[in-house]
Structure 1
Amino acid sequence: SFVIRPTDLNITDNDTWCDWAPFDQDNYQNLFGYIDNCFLVAYAFGMFFSGMFGERLPLRYYLTSGMLLSGLFTSLFGLGFYWNIHSLWYYCLMQALNGLVQTTGWPAVVACVGNWFGKGKRGFIMGVWNSHTSVGNILGSLIAGAFVSSAWGMSFIVPGIIIAVMGIICFFFLVEKPEDVNCSLPQHHVRTTAQIQNSSLTRNVFCPASLQGVVEFSLCLLFAKLVSYTFLYWLPLYIANVANFDAKSAGDMSTLFDVGGILGGILAGVVSDYTGGRATTCCVMLIVAAPMLFLYNAIGQNGVSTTVVMLLVCGALVNGPYALITTAVSADLGTHECLRGNAKALSTVTAIIDGTGSIGAAIGPLLAGLISPTGWNNVFYMLISADVLACLVWDATVFKHIINSISLTFNLKLAEPSHYVL
């Protein structure tokens, strides 16, 4: 929902600087919002079915085909510039198709990584691995910024070529499971300090008594993704309007939010491995994120150093829980012992959690577009409210986990004298 004004463009026959119909009218932000939501809604819809296909198809073929098709539709979007296409429906269709084929990605890659690593240090390993999402966001922003002032079509064609090439590399070199290359299997079901939560949370979606783990993490991710994707789509425009940066600098500055997300994802993984409480880690980070978002809106425009620090902190606190839920938590639930070796269910569990979260990803930018005309303060109030709702999903569970931990510690201390008696 944000575009960079080319420095050499001078338009005098309309109230906007854009000269590419139909985005050259006063409602250009709404039109960009429609395109954004075509992708996000299609992604959310397709994700619920993607996991089922991922279970039944070889992950290497499934992931490769998705990457090649994603490269195709991304490039077709950019070719609209060279083919002189001015139909809104064309761009909406390309984004919707792109959203559908990109649903092949996340369940497949989480399943592959989950197959290789057991629960012991999964939070840390997947926290480091998940940094690729933020690196991709940063790279995409830089590529778009490099071409947008000369030939905006290349801002889509170049990423399309990159993902297609990586799809070919994936086809030839991806190893889905350790047993495919005669490696020992990781221990998915050993009780360690890295359990995702107490026993009521570690039961899987396919176990009769434990839908709550998947349901609660899914709802938490819905609100967490709402906040994260609102920042992804609207942060450059906010920085340009409020912090008085020029558009190019605002786009570059917004990448710091993703840098913070890398640090937050790793931190969340390490803490959850050490404490054994995935839900508690998410809840604490979300609780701290709420006042930080308020503080960023209040003082974030007071100089470059303040903006940098607040973007890093907010990025870590907002994207940390998001990263933890979509990686380590999904892998923990999808490889639980009650599946009795059906590790392919990991793809479905990941798809359910991320699909629910993607609903929030579609709603957030849309709400921001509707609310932003009333003032940026109201947009931040909406984000803080979503953050609080994400915490409320876990209130009862986290409280129960803390009480159980205290009770266990207290019981162990009471048992210590008996050793001396015996």
Structure 2
Amino acid sequence: MSTNSNTIRRTPPGILLIRNIRGKDWSLKSYRYIILLLTFIAYATYHASRKPSSIVKSVLYPESMKSSDPPWPVGNVFIEEEFSGFGTNGVNNKGWYPFNGTDGTSKLGEIDVAFLACYSSGMYVAGHLGDTLDLRLFLTIGMIGSGIFVGLFGMGYYWNIHEFWFYLFMQMVAGLFQATGWPSVVAVIGNWFGKRKRGLIMGIWNAHTSVGNISGSLLAAAVLDYGWGWSFIVPGALIASAGVLVYLFLPAYPEDIGFSGANASSSEEEDRIQKASEQKGSAVNVEKSSDLKAGSGSRKGIGIFEACSIPGVIPFALCLFFSKLVAYTFLYWLPFYLSQTEIGGEYMSVKSAGNLSTLFDVGGIVGGVLAGYISDKLIARATTAATFMFAAIPSMILYRLYGNISRATNILLMMIAGLFVNGPYALITTAVSADLGTHSSLRGDSRALATVTAIIDGTGSVGAALGPLITGFLSSKGWDTVFMMLNAGALIASLLLSHLVIAEFRERTSKPLPPSHGQQNHEATGSQPLLGVSNIQNNLCSLCGKVPETLILLCWCPPPSGSLKLNVDGAIRSDASCGGIGGLLRNAEGCSLASFSKKFGPGLLISAELLAIKYGIEMFLSSQWFGSYSLIVESDRKNAIDLLLNPSASPSFLFCLVREISDSFCGKDVSIRHISRNGNIVADLLAKAGIG
């Protein structure tokens, strides 16, 4: 790795220390595990630091308290309890002015709304700053700042402060610092992980939200006996400590430690890098990439309006608005609904209702993982999200109608509702945001991950603030009215993605390849450059019963002198279980110079065609002929060519790939044009051979 000062400056100091101690570097795979762990811890502490306000409400405003036991899973879980005049700290609790008056609940509500308002508005600015500044330092400052102001809220107890503005101000500033978290951690994950299995990985990783909520509740309750101030100070110290950990060990970009970006290199290059790093230890620094940029500092951020112009950002942001409106209404109001609803012929205590409501989040964890897995398999984020939101409507209706039959029925229907409500919410805030943010920025000089994530989640956070607020008014008219609002929100969320769903469906149903096709071709494994010209001609004879040379002369024209021609094609099975790509590079005499035939996982035909073009161009650019010859690329899918000539017209799920391809040959002597199927039969055969 180059000793460029900018690169060295952005390598985390903890990693530099470990390199010096070990005498060699970690592999790419090891770094990815570290990234997952550090970002999981980071955002879990963000959520843990948000929980104290809900835990101490019963101490600040004792009329709202029903139980003196610690929360689940420490104390009894689903029990009936009467009101106790003693606080959770074991002494007679008269509350804390200014929250113990008749308007105490109103003041507590104002603090919550102020926090969410600053959080959602700060998200837009934080996202742009995250793409402009060093992500590691930006995330560190946000975590330490959050810890300081959460802790200052608790210090009001020891400083004996009874001014409402003090607590309001602390929460507002804490909300602004908290806005740094989500765009930053999603951006880091997107930088390190390509699109393969991104939905599943992020679905599992997104469990940090529930882990943080539960751990924050337990931690705040555990120290409540020593005074409610400690319930803020300890979580504040925890997130600040995690911020120091992030500063020491978190490389925000692979380039910051000498690896090429996950979204900028092929899987073969990543495998080569990883093997080199495992075999050569510290010598990997000079092997990792010959054209690395000087760390993340060499990039520039894009503007908010430019990020909004990325196809799919606005529909997904608006969808998340209504999705979070539904999800956060359950989050804030489900315990109250359970305590006010007769279940199995009896009412439960406030504590029991709160404990029972956590099972909604358990269903949400399963939903997030399931949505990510399905979207990876189908390569259809919008279809998966819209389907889950549609399914949430009958699940919420069933929960409202039959949830009061018994506690077991209530738990089952609640977890099913949580699965469908939180599934798309988790998918959009993680994998979708990363997909839309990893466009040409990771090959050019701009960055969009944090900005796109902030736009999407910031818009969703506005819905998260409005949902509980609207529910407060509608609940006075009856819970049926509230559930009508929730069903309407889920319906609107799904309809907002209808255009993207149609686009995904059209691509999936176009130009299918029967499963039997390709079985007679020579099998091609992933990285072999394959099939010589003689094998291609033999297969043409078996398929067409014609003299291959005559067929090629009739259907394929050689390039002019000084140019090479690359014919590519993609194919998929009719069941979309797998696909193949193939291509052949020939000179003006018609002689084959190089070929490829590769298999890839389930996907759409347009994606296969674009991958074939991408791989073929990369093969040429890394070959001995680049610089001496111009290149003509021919494909028989006109819509793929049209997208490359006009990337802004690409659907959201293809935008990143299209921009990456167009950027790869921008400024080079490479042209792309359409050719008939008959003229592309060799590439078609290679693509089918890739399926095996």
TM-score by length of 2: 0.54
Cα distance per residue 1:56-84 (max 9 Å; x no partner): 22111111111111111112222333333
Q: Percent identity?
A: 49
Say whether residues 1:322 and 2:425 are aligned partners.
yes
Matches within 5 A, 1:10-409: 19-146=95-222, 151-187=227-263, 211-242=310-341, 243=343, 244-337=347-440, 340-342=443-445, 344-409=447-512
- Partner SS state of residue 175, structure 1: coil
CA distance in structure 1 between the partners assigned to 2:412 and 2:101 by the alignment: 36
Shift of 1:297: 2.0
Q: Determine if contact 1:67/1:163 at 8 Å carries over to the other structure.
A: yes
Check whether the contact 1:50–1:104 (CA below 8 A) recurs between aligned residues. yes
Structure 1 residue 134, shift from structure 2 partner: 1.7
Give the structure 2 partner of residue 201 of structure 1. Answer: none
Alpha-carbon deviation of 1:147?
A: 5.4
| Mapped contact 1:333–1:349 kept (Cα < 8 A) | yes
Inter-partner Cα distance in structure 1 for 2:360 and 2:94: 27
> C-alpha distance in 2, partners of 1:144/1:316?
27
* 2-structure distance, mates of 1:205, 1:123: 25
Q: Deviations over 1:131-161 (max 9, x none)?
A: 1012112223334454568743333222212
Equivalent residues of 1:222, 1:360 under 8 A apart: yes
* 3-state SS in 2 of match to 1:408: coil
CA contact (8 A) 1:189 1:337 kept: no
The 8 Å contact of residues 33 and 365 in structure 1, kept in 2 or not, is answered as no
Deviation of 1:126 (Å):
1.0
In the TM superposition, residue 122 of structure 1 has moved relative to its aligned partner by: 0.7
> What value does the CA root-mean-square deviation take over the aligned residues?
3.0
* Contact 2:127/2:455 (<8 A) preserved: yes
Distance 1:386 1:274, change over 3 A: same
Q: How many angstroms does 1:290 deviate by?
A: 1.1
Paired letter, 1:270: Y
Residues 1:87 and 1:371: Cα distance change in structure 2 (over 3 Å): farther
Change (3 A) 1:147 1:379: farther
Alpha-carbon contact 1:119-1:189 (below 8 Å) kept: no
* Contact 1:135 1:258 survives alignment (8 Å): no
How many residue pairs get matched? 403
Following superposition, the deviation at residue 282 of structure 1 comes to: 0.2
TM-score, normalized by length of structure 1?
0.86
Larger proportion of strand? 2
Shift in alpha-carbon separation, 1:5–1:112, aligned structure 2, 3 A:
same
Task: Give, as a single letter, the amino acid of the residue that structure 1 aligns with 2:340.
Answer: N
Give the greater-gyration-radius structure (CA): 2
Is the alpha carbon distance of 1:111 and 1:420 closer, same or farther for their aligned partners in structure 2, counting shifts above 3 Å?
same
Q: RCO (CA 8 Å, sep 6+): is it higher in 1 or 2?
A: 1
Between 1:70-79 and 1:136-145, the stretch displaced more is 136-145
| Alpha-carbon distance change, 83 to 306 in structure 1, aligned in 2, over 3 angstroms | farther
Instruction: Deviation per CA, 1:230-279: give whole Å up to 9, x if none.
Output: 22222222222224222222222222222222111111111000001000
Distance 2:360 2:131 in 1: 34
Conserved 8 A contact 1:280-1:398? yes
Q: Deviation at 1:184?
A: 4.5
Post-superposition offset of 1:128? 1.1
Q: Following the alignment from structure 1 to structure 2, what is the Cα–Cα distance between the partners of residues 177 and 251?
A: 40
Could you say if the C-alpha distance between residues 335 and 416 of structure 1 is closer, same or farther in structure 2, counting changes exceeding 3 Å? same
Aligned mates of 2:501, 2:322 — CA distance in 1: 17
Compare the two structures and name the one with the higher helix fraction: 1
Q: Which amino acid aligns with 2:329?
A: T
User: What letter matches 1:232 in structure 2?
Assistant: L
What are structure 2's unaligned runs of at least 5 residues? Answer: 1-53, 59-64, 69-83, 88-92, 268-302, 519-539, 546-692
Contact 2:328 2:464 in 1 (8 A): yes
3-state SS of the aligned residue for 2:312?
A: helix
Query: What displacement does 1:348 show?
Result: 1.0
Letter in 2 for 1:398: V
Q: Secondary structure at the match of 2:317?
A: helix
The 8 Å contact of residues 307 and 451 in structure 2, kept in 1 or not, is answered as: no
After superposition, the Cα gap between the structure-2 partners of 1:265 and 1:371, relative to the gap in structure 1 and judged at 3 Å, is same
The 2-side partners of 1:96 and 1:290 are apart by: 34
Shift of 1:28: 3.7
Q: Tell me, yes or no, if the aligned pair for 1:6 and 1:148 is still in contact at 8 Å.
A: no
What is the rounded CA distance, in whole Å, between the counterparts of 1:402 and 1:421 in structure 2?
Answer: 32
**Shift of the alpha carbon at 1:26?**
4.5
Distance 1:209 1:171 in 2: 30
- CA drift of 1:93 comes to 1.6
